[in-house]
Amino acid sequence: MISVKNICCIGAGYVGGPTMAVIAHKCPDIKVTIVDLNAERIAAWNDEDVNNIPIYEPGLAEIVKSARGKNLFFSTEVEKAIDEAEMIFISVNTPTKTYGVGKGMAADLKYIELCARQIATVAKSNKIVVEKSTLPVRTAEAIKNILDNTGNGARFQILSNPEFLAEGTAIDDLINPDRVLIGGDTDEEGQKAIEALVNVYSNWVPKEKILTTNVWSSELSKLTANAFLAQRVSSINAMSELCEKTGADVNEVARAIGMDSRIGSKFLKSSVGFGGSCFQKDILNLVYIAKSYGLKEVADYWEQVVIMNDHQKKRFATNIVKTLYNTVSGKKIAFLGWAFKKDTNDTRESAAIYVADDLLNEQANIAVYDPKVEESIIYRDINYLGTRAAEENKQGIEVLNDPYNACKDAHAIAVLTEWDEFKTYDWQKIYNNMKKPAFVFDGRNILDADKLKNIGFIFQQIGK
Ligand code: NAD
Ligand code: UDX
């Protein structure tokens, strides 16, 4: 039985950081080193004040504090950590390609390939290489080719161990996972490698929740899981538009269908659209894979999930303009929330970015408040779209660290993230300081409609 004592993880991001922190916390006998090329990020992970670690996740700071310096280490010395480890997790980013063949659809695997080449060059002893990043099906084959043909004669086993954590609940998801999925080769060596990783997770995950499969099933299951989840959001969002036309209430519809045990009640919350670094990227990747096998109908079917999501974001912005008498030019619109969901400081693909872009095109003045997102990130996000010069974005968007100031003199408020604190505000006070008539557009269906209407707001929720 292989018993792993030294783990290295390449990539100290939203997955590598929390995942390895939990492994270190639950397995005090295993030394875990997380490495990254980004020296600033590593410095932040090593910050003496654990509240300054680069990722905000409830419970993460405490777990890092409990293990850091004991059996959890953050470092930029990638080669040293690879050399010392028996098991190497690859947890680097796999964004959508922005160039060449597959541009805008396929996953960009250049960071993965770099890792494989680096492992091959450095490794002097046998290693188990674990794909933690989300990858197209059959990527393990490419990694194995690189490792076997550029290495120093060391032997490698490749496992697929996709991560299912959701941001905002990452620590709970890692400590109590629905399942852990491990894919590996079906031969004897492959099975031994699987067993080694099963043993790591068995320190805290019940055996019956650890599922082992072949590598290709594991790789494809991750893309499939995200596609199914995103599809539910697009399905309920599609119904939200029909609800608005017919007088049905999307929350009531969601409740009614969710009580059918075959459908289930989770992931049926209509919204201004799903965001985050995974759903869109992984579906586009799935669409690309299907197309590359000539499966046009399969590709079209899944692409519709993303098309519907884009439509939902656009129609939210259009609705604001229409309701404000067809012009928002020179009007202040307050954004409550910029993160793609509550309890995270991650803004990747957040609906707020696209709604802001559409409203800036209409010459609105936007005032943003988010409890966890830094000002520089908000400007980075909007500048990244490239719609207008950075200077213009700076003029069009103001970032405030007080929600009451953000809403002061605004013609309308758009709720873009479901932060719990928004529900606790003194809405009467907010109303008093706004331009009249005062509008609230609740893109997350979190506010109390009756209360706000009584105060005098003109109130709109998605799907009502
Ligand atoms: P991230 O961008 O937050 O982190 C990736 C890190 O890898 C970065 O810090 C980057 O500097 C580092 N990196 C890239 N190339 C490197 C190299 N050659 N050597 C050392 N460091 C390198 O990304 P993330 O959100 O953690 O996602 C990582 C993977 O996990 C992706 O494939 C993603 O699809 C998948 N995933 C993400 C989530 C999520 O909720 N964010 C959930 C499940 C799976
Ligand atoms: C997702 C998957 O849930 C997770 O398993 C995978 O590992 C990574 O991708 P994440 O993107 O972090 O996780 O968050 P998730 O909770 O799935 O939310 C994604 C987006 O969908 C958010 O913008 C959220 O607000 C939105 N959403 C979710 C809805 O609009 N309605 C819902 O009912 C659920």
Q: Does residue 443 have its Cβ closer than 6 Å to ligand 1? A: no
Looking at the CA of residue 114, tell me the nearest atom of ligand 1.
18
Mean pLDDT in residue range 144-148: 92
Looking at the CA of residue 170, tell me the nearest atom of ligand 2.
12
Looking at the CA of residue 276, tell me the nearest atom of ligand 2.
11
In this structure, the chain runs to a length of 464
CB 161 within 8 A of CB 132: yes
Please report the pLDDT score of residue 125 as a whole number.
Answer: 94
Mean pLDDT in residue range 165-190: 97
pLDDT per position as a tens digit, 380-410: 999 999 999 999 999 999 999 999 999 999 9
Q: How many CA atoms lie within 13 A of 358 on its CB side?
A: 18
Instruction: Name the DSSP class of 68.
Output: B
Q: Any long-range contacts for 107-114 (C-beta under 8 Å, 24+ apart)?
A: 107/134, 107/135, 107/136, 107/281, 107/285, 107/288, 109/135, 109/136, 109/139, 109/142, 112/139, 112/143, 113/142, 113/146
Residue 152 banded pLDDT, cuts 50, 70, 90:
confident
CB 83 within 8 A of CB 46: no
pTM listed for this prediction: 0.97
Mean pLDDT in residue range 82-102: 97
- Cα–Cα distance for residue pair 7/3, rounded to 1 Å: 11
Q: Nearest CA to 251 among 232, 231, 279, 271?
A: 271
Q: How far is the CA of 181 from the centre of ligand 2 (A)?
A: 19
- Cα–Cα distance for residue pair 301/158, rounded to 1 Å: 32
Residues with active-site annotation: 278
Among the bound ligands, the one closest to the CA of 55: 1
Q: Nearest CA to 351 among 322, 376, 316, 319?
A: 316
Please report the pLDDT score of residue 240 as a whole number.
Answer: 98
Query: Best of 268, 270, 274, 338 to mutate for ligand 2, by most ligand atoms within 8 A of CB?
Result: 274
User: What's at 404, amino acid-wise?
Assistant: Y
pLDDT at 137 over 70: yes
For ligand 2, residues with CB inside 6 Å are 163-167, 226, 229, 233, 267-269, 271, 274-276, 278-279, 340-341
CB 161 within 8 A of CB 181: yes
CB 337 within 8 A of CB 378: no
Q: How far is the CA of 226 from the centre of ligand 2 (A)?
A: 9
Please report the pLDDT score of residue 153 as a whole number.
Answer: 85
Of all protein residues, whose CA lies closest to atom 3 belonging to ligand 2? 166
Residue 412 pairs in a beta bridge with: 333, 439
φ, ψ for residue 260, nearest 5 deg = -75, 115
Q: How many CA atoms lie within 13 A of 304 on its CB side?
A: 11
Q: How many CA atoms lie within 13 A of 140 on its CB side?
A: 26
Q: Does residue 13 have its Cβ closer than 6 Å to ligand 1? A: yes
Q: How far is the CA of 162 from the centre of ligand 1 (A)?
A: 12
Q: Nearest CA to 222 among 94, 60, 391?
A: 94
Give the largest CA-CA distance in the chain. 74
Residue 1 banded pLDDT, cuts 50, 70, 90:
low
Q: Does residue 38 have its Cβ closer than 6 Å to ligand 1? A: yes
pLDDT at 16 over 70: yes
Among the bound ligands, the one closest to the CA of 225: 2
- Cα–Cα distance for residue pair 94/96, rounded to 1 Å: 7
Structure tokens at 168: 């905002």
Of all protein residues, whose CA lies closest to atom 22 belonging to ligand 2? 274
Q: How far is the CA of 95 from the centre of ligand 1 (A)?
A: 9
> What Å distances lie between residue 58 and 52, 61, 69, 459, CA to CA?
13, 8, 21, 31
Residue 265 banded pLDDT, cuts 50, 70, 90:
very high
- Cα–Cα distance for residue pair 250/256, rounded to 1 Å: 10
Of all protein residues, whose CA lies closest to atom 34 belonging to ligand 1? 134
- Cα–Cα distance for residue pair 230/225, rounded to 1 Å: 9
pLDDT mean across residues, the chain = 97
Share of the chain above pLDDT 90, in %: 98
CB atoms within 10 A of CB 154: 15
Q: How far is the CA of 199 from the centre of ligand 2 (A)?
A: 29
CB 411 within 8 A of CB 331: yes
Q: How far is the CA of 278 from the centre of ligand 2 (A)?
A: 8
